[in-house]
Amino acid sequence: IYPLPVWEEVEIKILNLSSTNPKAKALKRLLIGYAENCTMDGNGRILVSGPLRDYAKLDKRVALIGQGEKFELWNEQTWHALRDDMIALQKTDAGQVELASLSF
């Protein structure tokens, strides 16, 4: 879920992808084809269309995950499984050199 100004920048990048590259063409069809404007209701909820709900397997319980300039909306059980995998990955040595440069 992108704020409109951020989405407009992303959309330009997607539209500039080559139409002769089959992967780029497929990506355009998926991302541009399923993009939709969403508005919040009085309770701060957004209505996600049926095809997007089906694709993400969304039901009553979801996880909204902040990612800087966008949000990710996940099926809650799928998110918990992925989160657990990511936590386990952090306990390994994979990528430690690159991450060591981060300080909080």
Which residue range is the domain that position 29 belongs to? 1-35
Residue where the block lists tokens 């690159």 = 98
* Residues 28 and 62 both lie in one domain: no
Same domain for 98 and 79 = yes
In this structure, the answer to whether residues 27 and 67 fall within a common structural domain is no
Q: Are residues 53 and 18 in the same domain?
A: no
**What phi-psi label fits residue 64: left (phi over 0), alpha (psi between -120 and 50 degrees) or beta?**
beta
The number of domains in the chain is 2
- Tens place of pLDDT per residue across the chain (104 aa): 999 999 999 999 999 999 999 999 999 999 999 999 988 899 988 999 999 999 999 999 999 999 999 999 999 999 999 999 998 888 887 656 666 676 66
Which phi and psi (to 5°) does residue 70 adopt? -150, 170
pLDDT of residue 89: 86
55 and 11 housed in the same domain: no
The C-alpha atoms of residue 4 and residue 14 are separated, in whole angstroms, by 15
Q: What's residue 97's pLDDT? A: 63
Which residue carries 């949000």 as its tokens? Answer: 71
